[in-house]
Amino acid sequence: MDFSQVIQLEQYTKAAQFNPEKNCLFTTGTHCLVSQGVRKRITLPINDTAQLVANITANMRDLPDDTIAFAALPFCKTEQAQVIIPEKVSRWDKAAFNAWFDAELAPVHGQKNHLSAITDIQSQAQFEQAVVQAKQLFDSEQLDKIVLSKQTQLDFEQPINHHLVLRNLLQQSQSGYHFSFPTLDGATLMGVSPELLLKKQAEALTTNPLAGSIPRDPCPKEEAHRRSVLFASKKDRYEHAVVIEDIQQVLSPFCSKLKIPAQPELLSTATMWHLSTVISGALQHPETHSLMIANQLHPTPALCGKPTSVAYPKIAELEQHSRGLFSGIIGWFDKQGNGEWVVVIRCAQLYKHTATLFAGAGIVAASDPRSEWLETEAKLNTMLNALEIKQTYYAMRNKLHEAN
Ligand SMILES: C=C(O[C@@H]1C=C(C(=O)O)C=C[C@H]1O)C(=O)O
C-alpha cells in the first residue's frame, strides 16, 4: 500500500462506528487506518524471525490482495505476537477522522475519568536503586547502555472512557503514531508513539530512532535552554550514538544504500524533547517483508540496551516484572510485506477501571538516578493528559510522598 497516493476518504456508516475496545487504529503522517470486523486473530512466536514471517505469509496467502493486518509484538522474544486480520480496513485522512471522531463523541463528553488510586509497580526508591545497580554493571564493562522502566497502575471510579482518551490523544499530539489495539486479555493498548522503528514501502526503508530526552517546559526561555542543553549533552549524545550504531549493524546487510546523518536533530512531542535521527535506505531485495527487518531491529538499544544479549536478562532482573507489550512494537502490514512499525511507548493498557502506564529511560555510565526517575515521570504526562487526570495525579502523588 502506498500512502503517497491519493487516499479515498471512506465514510463510516452508523452501524460500523469505530470502537476502541473492538477495532484497531493506527495513524501515520496525515493518514489513519481503522479496522472493521475480525477475519482472523492469531498469536505467533517471535523468537525465530524467518518462521514468524513464514507463518504470517501463510496466514495471508488466501486472502484478497489488498488485505491489511495489524500486529503487536511483545518486548520479550519468548512471548507471542498478537495479529489481527480485519474484515476491512478503512483509510482516512487523519484530520477528517479526528473531526468525525470528535463529533461522534459529543454524546459522551460528560463521562470524565476520575482517578481513585495510584499503585507504583516500582517505587521511586526501587527505580533509583535499579539505576545505581545498573551503573555498577558499566564499571565491570559488560554493558554500554541499559533501558530501565517502571509501570504505574491507576484505578478509576468508573470504567475508563476509551473514546475520550483516544480523542484527547488525537487532539493533543498532532504528530506521532497513534495506536489503539484490543489485546487478547480484553484490554486496549492505546497511545501515541513518537518513535518509528521501521517503515517499508517496496525497496524504501525509513527508521527514526529516538534516544536522549529532556522534559518540555511551558516557559519559552526555559524551553530554549533545555533544547540546547539536550543537544550539547555528551551523556545524551552517547545514549543516542549507541542506538544508531546498532541499527546500522542490523540494516546494512539488507540494504544497497543506507543514509545516516552525521549528527542527530531535536524532535519534540507534546511533553518531551528527544534526540532524533532519520535513517533512510534502499533494500537489496524489495520483496523482503517489513517484519523480517523490524523483528531483527527490535528491541533496539533505545528500549533495551547494548549489547542486547547482556542488557536483556539484566532488565528482567532489575525491573522484576514483565513488560508484556510495553516497549514492544506495533504496526500494520500488507500482503506484499510493506508496513510500518513503531515502538510501544507513551501508552497505557486500559482495562475496565484500570489503566497501566509505562515509562522507561536509557541508562548509561553518566546517568543520575533522580534525573532518570524524573524523565520517566515526564514521559507519563502523555497519557495523564489524555486521561485528563494530570492535576489529580500530582496531588495524589504529593500526598503519598508526604505520608511516607
Ligand atoms: C522507554 C521510553 O522511551 C525511549 C527512551 C528514550 C530515552 O532514554 O531518551 C527516548 C525515547 C524512547 O526510545 C519511554 O518513553 O517509555
**DSSP state letters, 49-111:** HHHHHHHHHHHHTTS-TT-EEEEEE-SSTTSEEEEEEEEEEEEEEHHHHHHHHHHHHGGGTT-
Q: Can you tell me the mean pLDDT for 264-291?
A: 97
pLDDT of residue 107: 63
pLDDT of residue 250: 98
pLDDT of residue 12: 45
Residue 176 DSSP SS3: coil
Residue 181 DSSP SS3: strand
314 in Cβ contact with 133 (< 8 Å): no
What is the Å distance from ligand 1's center to 343 Cα? 9
pLDDT of residue 100: 84
Q: What is the CA radius of gyration of the chain?
A: 20
Whole-prediction pTM: 0.95
pLDDT of residue 235: 96
Q: How far is CA 9 from the centre of its chain?
A: 26
Which of 92-106, 127-141, 207-221, 248-262 has the lowest average pLDDT? 92-106
Which member of 79, 94, 135, 145 is catalytic?
Answer: 145
Specify the DSSP element, H or E, that contains 150.
Answer: strand 145-156
Q: Count of CB atoms within 10 A of residue 312's CB? A: 17
Summarised one tens digit per residue, pLDDT across range 70-82 is 999 999 999 999 9
- Compute CA distances 311 → 12, 111, 211, 306, 307, whole Å: 46, 43, 16, 6, 6
pLDDT of residue 49: 98
Whether the predicted pLDDT of 237 surpasses 80 = yes
Whether the predicted pLDDT of 162 surpasses 80 = yes
Q: Give burial (CB, 10 Å; 0-12/13-18/19+) of 276.
A: buried
Distance, CA of 329 to CA of 298 (rounded, Å): 7
The answer to whether residue 104 is catalytic is no
Summarised one tens digit per residue, pLDDT across range 120-160 is 998 999 999 999 999 999 877 689 999 999 999 999 999 99
Whether the predicted pLDDT of 223 surpasses 80 = yes
pLDDT of residue 204: 98
Whether the predicted pLDDT of 280 surpasses 50 = yes
Spell out the domain ranges in the chain. 20-107+115-403
Mutate to test the pocket of ligand 1, among 131, 193, 213 (most ligand atoms within 8 A of CB): 213
- Cβ of residue 274 lying under 6 Å from some atom of ligand 1: yes
Confidence of residue 14 (pLDDT cuts 50, 70, 90): very low
Which of 169-178, 273-282, 283-292, 298-307 has the lowest average pLDDT? 169-178
pLDDT: is 236 or 13 the higher one? 236
* Percentage of the residues of the chain whose pLDDT score is greater than 70: 94
Mean pLDDT (the chain, rounded): 92
The answer to whether residue 195 is catalytic is yes
Confidence of residue 9 (pLDDT cuts 50, 70, 90): very low
Which residue's CA is the nearest one to ligand 1's atom 16?
Answer: 359
* Percentage of the residues of the chain whose pLDDT score is greater than 90: 83
Q: Does domain 20-107+115-403 have CATH number 3.60.120.10?
A: yes
* Ligand 1 atom with the shortest distance to the CA of 213: 9
- ipTM of the prediction: 0.99
pLDDT of residue 106: 66
Q: Can you tell me the mean pLDDT for 80-105?
A: 89
Distance, CA of 42 to CA of 262 (rounded, Å): 41
pLDDT of residue 403: 72
What is the Å distance from ligand 1's center to 303 Cα? 6
| Best CA proximity match to 311, nearest among 7, 41, 70, 76 | 76
Cell readout for 381 is 504526562
